[in-house]
Structure 1
Amino acid sequence: MGKIIVTGASGSFGGAAAELLLAACAPEDLILLSRTPAKLAHFAQRGADVRHADFDDPATLAAAMRGGERMLLISTARVGSRVGQHRNAVEAAVAQGVRHIVYTSLISADQPDNPAIVKNDHRATEEIIEASGAQWTHLRDSQYAEAVATAMAIPALLSGHKPDNCGDGKVGFVSRDDCVATAASVLTQDGHGNCAYDITGPDLISIPEAMAMVTELSGKPITVEQVDDEAMFAYFDSLGVPRHASDIMPEGPIPWSSDDMVTFGQSIREGYFGRLSDTVERITGRKPKSLREVMIAHQAAWPV
């Protein structure tokens, strides 16, 4: 099968993928990359090949990629600047002989009219990989159920109120665990070359329906206020969220921008997230978790 590279292995997705791959591969066949390799010492102790890699510094990448055959390219964090980082990683990987690149993309990334600005980064990266000469697999993940169960549910429970610009748009919320399991399976199976997969959970659910589920499980009422995009910008302004990715302070307290979030909501409202697929079960052999299951798993973090 050859050696597998996991980028961003000190992140939550990469670390979870590394754990699954260690159960499926010989540890010496796993190359784990991070800007902070000291955070991967526990994997090195188990025999994985831990290497330093900084996508902003191409000089670090030839040695980092050497010997790999397949690579999981986990999208980096910064909307607006990550395409250059991804290009550096792809070019270095292919130059060192990587033959198959699996990329964590976004559902409907290939839809030209999709208004979510985050789509632009993902589709640009997909095109870079497609033109690289390597085989490719695009894993187009839906919105994470964990984000709804924590980052969305907790503030809504604290205030009893949630402004929202998603309307009644439906989302196939998917557990990050299922996205990780799908990625690990693709890396260790054959037959996924030059394929794009939607990665979704089992149900299509709107944000108001999701908040009603939080109310049902918690016993605390949440009022969802349907607002337009301008009102959503004003809400994020009131929280001190920067409007644009270019305004984000490096290492600052808020790593995302409101134009990212508002256009994401617009994309949901206009139906670009309203897709279901059987990819998780077909590739991993297990049924995907429902949003309710994920919420119940995170209920202990909810305010009482």
Structure 2
Amino acid sequence: MIIVTGATGQLGRLVIASLLKTVPAAQIVAAVRDVAKAADLAAQGVQVRRADYSDPASLDAAFAGAGKVLLISSSELGQRVAQHRNVIAAAVRAKAGLLAYTSVLHADTSALGLAEEHRQTEAAVRASGLNYSLLRNGWYVENYTGGLGAALAHGALAGGAGEGRISAAARADYADAAAAVLASTQAVEQVYELAGDTAFTLGDLAAELSRQSGKDIPFHNLPQQDYRDMLLGVGLPAPLAELIADSDAQAARGALYDGSGTLGKLIGRPTISLADAVKAAL
């Protein structure tokens, strides 16, 4: 049985869709906080079980019969380590054959502010005694393309990554990688550094947006504090604004670059191109 936690989230749904291409639905469990949101998965034959990262009893029930468990990292900043430890402990009690975790690119050395919770979780995964696979995901290209509408509306793309090269890939690319690891009948690697095949700067993104939209959209690079203040000004909560501004600042120093090509090799196809990502967003 393959258990996918956070299965109604943006990544989780894509992982299950990818698994369904090769794994019988009855062998997949969607572990979700709100089962009502997974009715469409149940209709496809996927088992749906309630699982709350903060409720160990629910995790034990959800993980019954677990062969492999995918722990998709929590979105609750500041609470993630405790929540992840609950999931890891439940996987241990279920005697799972494999525990996979969606971490962050180069987690062990990353200067990203968000990397610390991933490092602590990775340590807990390693200490669990289970066979494990750390899926160190790079940036989702959607993190940037999701804001292209605003860039068009304001006539400029703002950010704080300078000339930093970002090896982003589509959320679906990372989902296919997770599914490949979970569905594999062979031994899997303990650590995968996963990132897009090609890297781009935010200036490249602005140029591609300009080309496809027919409008001149320049890139305005902002100091970290100024970018944070801009994000606060458009209504983002302070912790998220801090995280995004820090991530761009670290990207300027190379934190979101990886040239290994591991992701494309794992999924057996090229990752999304910048041109296709912009086209899809538009």
Band of TM-score, shorter chain: over 0.9
Q: Which runs of 5+ in 2 are unaligned?
A: none
Structure 1 stretches of 4+ with a deviation exceeding 3 A read 190-194
Aligned to 1:83: 81
Aligned to 2:237, the other structure's residue is in SS state: coil
Q: Secondary structure at the match of 1:44?
A: helix
Aligned position for 1:265 = 248
**Separation of aligned partners in 2, 1:116 and 1:69:** 33
2:227 corresponds, among 228, 232, 235, to 232
Q: Is the 1:106–1:139 Cα contact (8 Å) retained in structure 2?
A: yes
Matched, 1:177 2:172: yes
C-alpha contact (below 8 Å) 2:162/2:221 kept by paired residues? yes
Q: Distance in 2 between matches of 1:270 and 1:278?
A: 20
Task: Report SS of the residue matched to 1:24.
Answer: coil
Gaps of 5+ in 1: 245-256, 300-304
Superposed CA offset, 1:70-90 (max 9, x none): 111111112221111111111
Aligned to 2:275: 292
Query: What's 1:283 paired with?
Result: 266
CA distance in 1, matches of 2:11, 2:232: 29
- Tell me which moved more, 19-28 or 31-40: 19-28
2:116 aligned with 1:133: no
Match of 2:236 among 236, 241, 257: 241
Conserved 8 A contact 1:137-1:192 = no
* Letter matched to residue 274 of structure 1: Y
Once residues 126 and 72 of structure 1 are traced to their aligned partners in structure 2, the CA distance between those partners, rounded to angstroms, is: 13
Q: Which amino acid aligns with 1:29?
A: Q
Letter in 2 for 1:133: G
Conserved 8 A contact 1:163-1:227: yes
Cα-Cα RMSD: 1.5
TM-score (norm 2): 0.95
Contact 1:171 1:206 survives alignment (8 Å): yes
Q: Which amino acid aligns with 1:266?
A: A
Q: How does 1:15-30 map to 2 (within 5 A)?
A: 15-30=13-28
Partner of residue 148, structure 1: 144
Cα gap change, 1:83/1:223 in structure 2, threshold over 3 Å: closer, same or farther?
same
Amino acid at match of 1:91: A
Q: TM-score normalized by structure 1?
A: 0.88
Find the counterpart in structure 1 of residue 119 from structure 2.
123
- Is the 2:148–2:281 Cα contact (8 Å) retained in structure 1? no
